[in-house]
Amino acid sequence: MIQKPTTQAHLRVLSQSFPKQSIAGEVLAGGFKWDFIWKFNKGELLVSPPLGRALIEDALLRFLIKSDYTLEPGGDYMFTVRAKI
């Protein structure tokens, strides 16, 4: 059976605001770097820059939904993207 390509992504939480109900951070994967804001009350994810955003957005959203209550500012986290970036 052929294994699907994967990429390890590194996520760092830079800030968390309960009044704004959001988490901000950065993701590095495959030589790319993206900044994100996760508005967990609305389920809205903003990712910039747009270059390569489609490669990371879905996997990042799944990770954030699964892990948002355990994420802390200054924390470093890893997750797997089911694609070669």
Domain boundaries of the chain, sorted by first residue: 7-81
Find the angle CA(54)-CA(60)-CA(61) to the nearest 5 degrees: 95
Contact between 57 and 47 under an 8 Å Cβ cutoff? The reply is yes
Residue 67: phi, psi to the nearest 5?
A: -115, 0
User: Residues 11-55: pLDDT tens digits?
Assistant: 999 999 999 999 999 999 999 999 999 999 998 999 999 998 998
Please identify which residue in the block is written with the tokens 């390890």.
Answer: 8
Sign of the torsion formed by the C-alpha atoms of 61, 63, 69 and 73: negative
Q: Report which secondary-structure segment, H or E, holds 57.
A: helix 53-67
Please tell me the pTM assigned to this model: 0.90
Q: What would the pLDDT profile of 68-85 be if each residue is shown by its tens digit? A: 889 999 999 999 998 888
